[in-house]
Structure 1
Amino acid sequence: MFENLSERLDKIFRNLRGKGYLTEDNIKAGLREVRMALLEADVNFRIVKNFIAEVEKRALGVEVMKSLTPGQQVVKIVYEQLVNLMDTEGFQFKVFNNRLTKVMLVGLQGSGKTTACAKLAAFYRKKGIKPMLVACDVYRPAAVDQLKILGKQIGIPVVSEDTKNVLKIADSALSMADKEMVNLLIFDTAGRLHIDEPMMEEVARLKTHIKPDYIFFVADATTGQDAVTIAKEFYDKLAFDAVILTKLDGDARGGAALSIKAVTGKPVAFVGIGEKISDLEIFYPDRMASRILGMGDVLTLIEKAEEAIDMEAEEKLARKMLKNQFTLNDFLKQLQSIKKMGSLESIIRMIPGLGRKLPADLKIDDKALKHIEAIIQSMTEKEREHPEIINGSRRLRIAKGCGLSVTEVNRLLRQFEEMKKMLKKVNTPQGRKHIERMMGGNRPEI
């Protein structure tokens, strides 16, 4: 996400930071380039104009001109203005486990609304909330079936009726939610390929009927300014509370994310960053500004790691590594934990300093991880625990079992042996102290 914008801004700020001191001309020239970068990222031109004016006013002030690191001060100002531009102003989506919260998702057909319903339900079930989905998109072919399939995949019930009367469907859902003691009821509403009065009237009637606690407008980030224009029209008709921005992983520009709050006055609450049901994040303006400026996003990376990794198991694994008892089974578990955190590319781009060094158009293929997983899963339990017994015939059998070449099997075994040699070197007084610090000072029994 934001690859094009990030790359442009990185070049501009690298040039500013490279100067020992800045003049008014330097700053104005740099901000002209920032202005072009934002416009090319499809950010609303009025927003760009106001943004640059505010940055310039601060950049030409004492805080920059008399600073020892003026280039860095300009970057800091741009960062702060980006955060202000996307500010959620304290908006929180509050779901309680002792009462029902009703949510409507609205938007155009094709924006990812139905998938967003399932993602939102799965996101809050992880937090101990009991969700239920309601199929009120009764016009789009297969919309109800799509929601049922998604609900089945994640084990969340879906309420649907053999009728086009959405109010009747809503009443059934409310009755069932009461019986099942559901905490979160999510209504998937009808969308169209364009805004029309009948659609708006029906959604407005549903809103009046169920009195939702929250209405989220679902916008496709890849449509840029079209998403912002449509959001404004929806807000004028329905006064939604916040935005769910989908397909942000496919948006190399970022115009919608940077414009939608300023145009509608309503913040982005969640972003979809992939096709998996788990690919939904709470939107944090400060973290997004860090990503845009190529500074990484350590907090989100830590949160993903905490969700995906069993810390107690990791501590046991660290002790095994110190004793040089790391096996292919352990390696497989590590890979599976990494996969839960998302794609390799998304993880790398969150690491400060590393993400900005990657080319904007770089696509890191996750097939390598899948191949390693397939090779290890084609081994017997004994082979995973004792890879030294894997001879030529066993390698051939493993290769056939996973559908890969013997060369790839050999490469994995060779890399694993090199890793074990490296771990053995770590098992020195100095290496142990380093790992102890990483484990929080707990000295393992060796």
Structure 2
Amino acid sequence: MTHAPPAVSGLLSHALADARSPRVPRTVPYLPERAFPWGGPGLHPAGAGGGVDLDRVLRLSLAAPRNSGGRLRPVASAGALHPVRAHLLVGPGCSLPPGRYAYDPRAHRAHPRGRAPADAPPGAVVVLTVTAARTVAHYGHRAWPLLLLDAGHAAAAVALAAAPGDVRVSLDANGEELSAAAGLPRAAEWKRRTEPELPLAAVWLPSVQGPIPSTAPLSAWTALPSTADPLPQPDTGNNAPPRELAAARHLLTYLAAGTEPTWHPAARPTSVTDETLRTRRSAPPSDLAHPPAPDLLARVLATAEGARPDGPAWVAAAGGDAPGLLTAAGLLASGDARPTLAHWAAGQRWIGTAGAVLVAHGCPADAPRSLIRGSHLAAGYAAGVAQAHATALGLRSRPIGSWLQADLGAALGDAPGHDWVVHGLALAGPADSPLPAPPPLPGKEERP
């Protein structure tokens, strides 16, 4: 494993501190999604049989319903910006013919981008990339952690849709290997064509029963050249602040450098059905004030805690008659932590009266790049699984991505700088009628 030069590590620590600081970003109004950059005739993902039904997987995870304008999708995203794109590496035993594809979520079509290698493993690998411009335009210097969280949510959505089955997820694969396997352009080539796509995660969907093949699923694809490039579109950055956009892309590329990928098995909570995945949506803040039943809260907390063995720890801030900060093992601290969480979450006052709030925590201020990447991707992944489980249990939910000066360890009396809130998920039980959201504080921003 290579270590970063001190100057680069210092820049990363500074960027993390800046993203967690109260500095208000320079932003622009909501910008529409750019045109799909991959040309050629698109194929419907449904096909004649195969062990991996890519039509079902993509409809339940990434597809944008035609009547939603692209903003409402089965997977949650900060600001409903949906920066994650999917490239399909399809081997034998799938509903699409073997080959490379770029997936268009608006049209629900897979655009061929080249052949498959002769030794492609059975099944499919979904390589998840992000485009940074729209998220940077909306969130400025806070965007790059949110892009990592979004990629984690998308990985969870694909894994949940593919289950049950022997689904594997990698959140630490080398970005260059992912890019080569997906046949994406090199950095200099992106600049001459369109907005870069930065690979961050992959989901492996084997199509065989029993033990999965021992061959690594990416290696057969990396030797193939790219045979279909994105359509030329000037990379204007969508009016995002140029310096912050360049910094976000540089940071994500640097964070994605890794070693051999690890592939963790993915599980779907038993109560989660395809109908759950079709109907799950983030609830508006006004619908999140009713406390969930304690047993249901404990079940969702356990799901978040167990979703990723390499992820951060989770706690739940509960209100009601016995407010406290809960772990899967029991009470961590008494008292109502929700008002503090509301203060930390970029001034989103509604969190102070939410039924309960799950928070992922860890990722020290001086964390190495592998831990920063892994903490955020795994937190997004765990929140995605927990949100699906909450939906199956009849609970409302809403992810919370923006956290400022949220040093949970210091608030609990530990040394400062070692235990920060990384992600959150608000939960609420059903209520007869939604309660009104509290008015925002003057001068305070309210961002999801």
The structure with the largest helix share of the pair is 1
**TM-score for both structures, normalised by structure 2:** 0.23
TM-score (norm 1): 0.24
Larger strand proportion, structure 1 or 2? Answer: 2
**Greater CA radius of gyration, 1 or 2?**
1
